[in-house]
Structure 1
Amino acid sequence: MPNTIKRKITLKLNKLQKCLTGIKGFDEITEGGLPKNRTTLISGGAGSGKTLFGIDFLINGAINYKEHGVFMSFEETADELFKDVASLNLDLKVLVSQKKIVLEHVVLERKDIQEKDFNLEGLLIRLEHAIESVNAKRVVLDSIESLFAGITDNGILRLEIKRLFGWLKEKQVTAIVTGEPGQDSYTHHGMEQYISDCIILLDNRVDEEVSVRRIRVVKYRGSNHGTNEYPFVIDDDGLSVIPITSAGLNQPGTAKRVSTGISSLDKLFKGVGYTKGSTILASGTAGTGKTSLAAAFAIETCKRGERCLFLSYEESAGQLIQNMKSIGFNFEPLIKKGLLKIASTRPTFVGLEKHLLDLYKTIDGFKPKSVVIDPLTSLIGEGSPREVRSMITRMIDVLKTQGITGFFTSLVSSTAQNDTSGEIGVSSLIDTWIVVRELEEKVGKKRIRGLYIVKSRGTGHSSDVHKLILSDDGISLEPMEADSTSTPDPKKKVGSGIAKKSKKINKST
């Protein structure tokens, strides 16, 4: 047998086995979950989600992987744990009654944790009985600080922790122990971090009055893993690290096209409309018709019998429905048929990651073929420019990986010096970019709306400025007469599309 094949077989045999946690996103950053039949330390301050991580791990194991579990608590009783997860969609009480999870509350007396009388035998016997009673494959100890609180001698402490971790390994269980970070260490004792095979750090911080949760894999023996800090949220379904990072540039290309919902706008794309599964951005100042363009696209999606999700960050569903009636767009029949779903929320209500998680869940449940987000710029104040851009990049990734056509609107300040995609600056991530602006006719000094296409990757398109008309019958575009308009402020530049008024058909690639 060649040496290369021998090496490959040896590597395969020696590859670390992993235990899937079932926690959304976490198994991806750890490339398969926690180290199987080994001990993981979950470190974090008060309210960071340590206990919930452990409970989630056990519940997912019992429901999804047919692995029963034991939760041994040194601080909370079973009733207190039931109350902790009562507001979440976690069936802890049911699983305990079905004997798939065992809850053990250990009351530690002062004499039990004194250094001279310290003995783990009684605890190990109780833990062994709990494991055998349900043939458990997963164990959570919450928290290790309480168990070793009375030991001050580092030598004894290290031996006892090593003894506990070794015992758990002998029992062939995947174990989690929780701890609180101390000064310059991941636990108060500082010994567990050296003996643990894996260390997960949870953090709940407040940045500019916004609470943000982060998770980081500090250590993982024998395995590759993501080393960055990753945002996570706790919602009705437990803990979710979603999305973890950008999905990457691996989306397949397509030649399929979908209508814009406006026949005269389709003609500007050589009559074929937007690329299916691409991203479209309509940017402009207030009142220029960005939401109306998005509404036309949403209705056209529904006309094809496909579902469309409309996320509104500025108007309630009722306001949006009423406002769109003024240009002949009736959302109500489409909503009743289940083809259109309008979700309205204030951007300040939750953090960026919660917005993104809600989008994931809604897409997963509703299965839309198109998603409208109006406007993206409402998210600016909910994080730093880097965080906002990262969130939008991941948002675009999730749409593209599922072949969903995304339509975004972006509000541009009326004092902007150039036609940009707004304060977010995501035009480079967009496949088709449409700019709508308020212009002023030279004759009569009447203000009108103008529209032109900045780019459309892979599609021939006109770069001429067209008059955008909103009426009772919907939306239409008309060619602009040469030298008939000027910008409201001569100090502002409208952009190359208006200044040059090129009549050529461009192809962007």
Structure 2
Amino acid sequence: MTEPIGRVKSGIHGLDEITGGGLPQGRPTLLCGGAGSGKTLLAMSFLAEGALRHGEPGVFICFEETEEELGRNFASLGYDLETLIADKKLAIDFIQLERSEIEETGEYDLEGLFVRIACAIDAVGAKRVALDTIEALFAGLSDAAILRSELRRLFRWLKDRGMSAVITAERGEGALTRHGLEEYVSDCVILLDHRVENQIATRRLRIVKYRGGAHGANEYPFLIDSRGISVLPVTSLELAHDVSTERVGSGIQGLDEMLGGQGFWRGSSVLVSGGAGTGKTTIAAQFVVEACRRGERALFFAFEESPQQVARNMRAVGVDLQRWIDAGSLRFIATRPTFWGLEMHLARMHREVEDFSPQIVAIDPLFSLGGDNDQVKSMLLRLIDYLKGRRISAMCTAILHEAAGRADHIGVSSLMDAWIELRSIESSGEINRGIRVIKARGIAHSNQIREFVVTDAGVALRSPYLGSGGVLSGSARLAREMADHEAKAERELTIAAGKQAIEAKRRRVAAQIAALEAELADEETKAELFLARQRNYGEASDRLRSDLINSRGGLNDR
């Protein structure tokens, strides 16, 4: 059974992922692009990373820069070429070719180049080769047939030696390369692009072809900084993120209560939208501070204010960001939104997240990064996909203009797990703040609009107060509360007065009852005396009669 094409790790972050495991092993790869697109950097990174991380020495054949110049250039990116050369892990051969010194006479071939490359390969036992750039070899050659033949010979020679090769080429007009031939004889072609749109430069990479291997076909942004080159994949091929059953608090008790009392799911994405001055940054700040209190790390991307300004403003409302910045739990990344394009912002966010490994990320605000709606949505999709893959909870703030109302004008809300809307409520000649949960996936949440105030202890939600016209807030709420209080007090006074009247009447009735009882007792006493007299009188009469009878009977006996 025929074995599939082997792949060698490029060592370049992100590139191995979109190529399905690396560049083709033992085959040539063509890097084409304009001046300054990163061809030489990618080629040298391929060799240096192979030598440092995979034990594969390399040979770099250069036609434009000397070994000393390359050493200085790549030292700023963290590569010590002198040490690699001294350790026999890298060989650099500078071949100087001047077009003015080249004269086309007789047969033209690359036998001399093959000899030099072979010597360099044998000297270090190389497994990888880079040629930078191929145009220099054919600068004075005008015969297309010979050019095509020698290109094929060069690529075949590298294949026969089993070299994993990277060859750079300048981009041509209307073609990938100047000669328009190299891409046809290469097994893998990578196009590097450095474009400028709306005065903002963006670097992108695309795999044009990859013989015998599946690969990503999109354009991918890539970043060049002090740590070299890194490529940012567009998004995962599958929706297969691990999910957590843990909930994380927002740092605002009332908001957590609206979310079932436990906050958001860990690893979820939260959109906080609202007009200017509604408190979006304050809510995001409390979210990251709550994470720091839990012993987690938080990353705050600010695009409108400096870290010092945000910290000062939040300190005024009782949110101490500086404490956690000093403790190393919170890191601020503040960048002007117009400094880079969307792709570069995204690439740098990836880099910062990888370096700091936070559990919480806040982006304030999201839509200030510029770009059209489709670009912003694509960028946000990639960012959310990346954060979900790392189980990082994200809170993004977004300003919605009054004309837009609650409308989601770029459809970004569908990407979010939760959407918190802040609004300004105008009533009774004043403006108050309201908050509500529009959606929270997998969470039973409140459907009420709650008033919230920004105090010297942060954001606090007030319990809902319903009036005849709906939810009341601000001075209307205070007036209604006062009126209700007065009505309640009046009712209590009325009840108390009624109770007093009842008590007075009870006392009067009790007094009347007492008087009647006394009168009754007096009458009872009189009746008893009368009855007693009558009984005494009857008894006396009976005795007297008895005595009279007895006395008369005695006279008769005489």
Cα separation, partners in 2 of 1:115 and 1:166, compared to 1, 3 Å = farther
Q: Which residue of 2 aligns with 1:104?
A: 93
**2:445 is matched with which residue: 430, 455, 461?**
461
The answer to whether the Cα contact below 8 Å between 1:451 and 1:466 also exists between their aligned partners in 2 is yes
Match of 1:346 in 2: 336
Aligned partners of 1:440 and 1:487 also within 8 Å: no
The alignment status of 1:80 with 2:65, answered yes or no, reads: no
Determine the C-alpha separation between the residues in 2 that align with 1:263 and 1:402: 27
Q: Is the 8 A contact 2:273 2:398 kept in 1?
A: yes
Contact 1:377 1:424 in 2 (8 A): no
Letter in 2 for 1:312: A
Match of residue 413, structure 2, among 427, 435, 454: 427
The answer on 1:241 being equivalent to 2:231 is: yes
The residue type equivalent to 2:108 in the other structure is F
Report runs of 4+ in structure 1 exceeding 3 Å deviation.
109-113, 484-488
Rounded Cα–Cα distance in structure 2 between residues aligned with 1:363 and 1:182? 37
Structure 1 residue 452 corresponds to structure 2 residue 442? no
User: 1-side partners of 2:109 and 2:387: how far apart?
Assistant: 56
Q: Quick one: distance in 2 between partners of 1:199 and 1:406?
A: 37
Confirm or deny: 8 A CA contact 2:374 2:410 kept in the other structure: no
3-state SS, counterpart of residue 284 of structure 2: helix
1:384 offset after TM fit, Å?
Answer: 2.7
Deviation at 1:218, TM superposition (A): 1.6
Q: Partners in 2 of 1:439 and 1:115 — Cα distance?
A: 85
By how many angstroms is 1:97 displaced? Answer: 3.3
- Which range is displaced more, 364-373 or 92-101? 92-101
- Report the counterpart of residue 279 of structure 1 in structure 2: 269
* Aligned equivalents of 1:446, 1:107: Cα separation in 2: 77
Judge conservation of contact 1:47–1:204 (CA < 8 Å) in 2: yes
1:196 aligns with 2:186: yes
State the partner residue of 2:145: 155
- Deviations along 1:242-295, one digit per CA (max 9) or x if unpaired, are 133346421133322111111122111121111111111110001111111111
Question: 2:111 maps to what in 1?
Answer: 121
Residues 113, 195 of structure 1: alpha-carbon distance in 2 compared, 3 angstrom cutoff? farther
Whole-Å separation in 2 of the counterparts to 1:129 and 1:216: 33
Cα separation, 2, equivalents of 1:44 and 1:247? 27
Unaligned runs of 5+ in 1: 1-9, 489-509
Q: 2:394 aligns with which of 406, 430, 433?
A: 406
**Residue 176 of structure 1 pairs with residue 161 of structure 2:** no
Q: Which of 348, 358, 364 does residue 348 from structure 2 map onto? A: 358
Q: 1:113 to 1:34 in 2, by over 3 A?
A: farther
- Which secondary structure state, in structure 2, belongs to the residue aligned with residue 349 of structure 1? coil
Q: 1:95 aligns with which of 74, 77, 84?
A: 84
Output one character per residue of 1:82-127: Cα deviation in whole Å (capped at 9) or x when no partner.
2333432333333233331111101225666635153422221111
TM-score under structure 1 length normalisation:
0.88
Shift of 1:459: 0.4
Contact map agreement 1:247 1:401 (CA 8 A) in 2: no
What are the residue-to-residue correspondences of 1:244-259 with 2, within 5 Å?
244-246=234-236, 248-259=238-249
In 2, Cα distance between the equivalents of 1:386 and 1:436?
Answer: 25
Question: What's the counterpart of residue 9 of structure 2?
Answer: 20
**Distance in 2 between residues matched to 1:284 and 1:156, nearest whole Å:** 66
Shift of 1:67: 0.8
Counterpart among 368, 374, 399 of residue 386 in structure 1: 374
For 2:219 and 2:20, how far apart are their aligned partners in 1?
15
Change in CA separation of 1:115 and 1:30 when aligned onto 2, cut-off 3 Å: farther
Verify the 8 A CA contact 2:202 2:344 in the aligned structure 1: no
Decide which moves more: 183-192 or 280-289.
183-192
AA of the residue aligned to 2:438:
V
Alignment of 1:254-273 (within 5 A): 254-273=244-263
Distance 2:238 2:313 in 1: 38
| DSSP-derived class of the 2:55 partner | coil
The C-alpha deviation readout for 1:330-383, integer Å capped at 9, x for no partner, is 12222222211122111112222222222222222211111111111211x2x2
> Alignment identity in percent?
45
- Taking only aligned residues, the RMSD between alpha carbons, in angstroms, comes to 2.0
Partner Cα distance (1:277, 1:245) in 2: 16
Query: Residue 6 of structure 1 aligns with which residue?
Result: none
- Equivalent position of 1:29 in the other structure: 18
Q: Quick check: 1:201–1:216 contact (8 Å CA) kept in 2?
A: yes
**TM-score normalised by structure 2 residue count:** 0.80
- For 1:387 and 1:82, the matched residues in 2 are separated by 38
Partners of 1:62 and 1:462 in 2: CA distance:
58
Range with greater deviation from structure 2 (176-185 or 258-267) = 176-185
Larger radius of gyration: 2
Partner SS for 2:276: coil
2:319 counterpart SS class: coil
Which consecutive residues of structure 2, in runs of 5 or more, have no partner in the other structure? 475-558
The 1:43/1:248 distance shift into structure 2, 3 A limit, reads same
Deviation by residue 1:108-166 (Cα, 9 ceiling, x = unmatched): 25666635153422221111111111101110111111112233223322222222212
1 CA distance for matches of 2:47 and 2:172? 27
> How much does 1:184 deviate?
4.0
Residue 475 of structure 1 pairs with residue 459 of structure 2: yes
Q: Deviations over 1:381-401 (max 9, x none)?
A: 2x2322211111111111111
Q: Distance in 2 between matches of 1:310 and 1:276?
A: 17
Matching residue within 136, 139, 143 for 2:129: 139
Contact persistence 1:90–1:237 (CA under 8 A): no
Task: Indicate conservation of the 8 Å contact 2:60/2:129, yes or no.
Answer: yes
**What are the within-5 Å matches in structure 2 for residues 202-213 of structure 1?**
202-213=192-203
Name the one with the larger helix percent.
2
Matched residue, 1:501: none
Q: Which shows bigger deviation, 452-461 or 95-104?
A: 95-104
* CA-to-aligned-CA distance 1:153-199 (integer Å, 9 cap, x gap): 23322222222212111221111111123344332223322221111
The answer to whether 1:439 aligns with 2:425 is yes
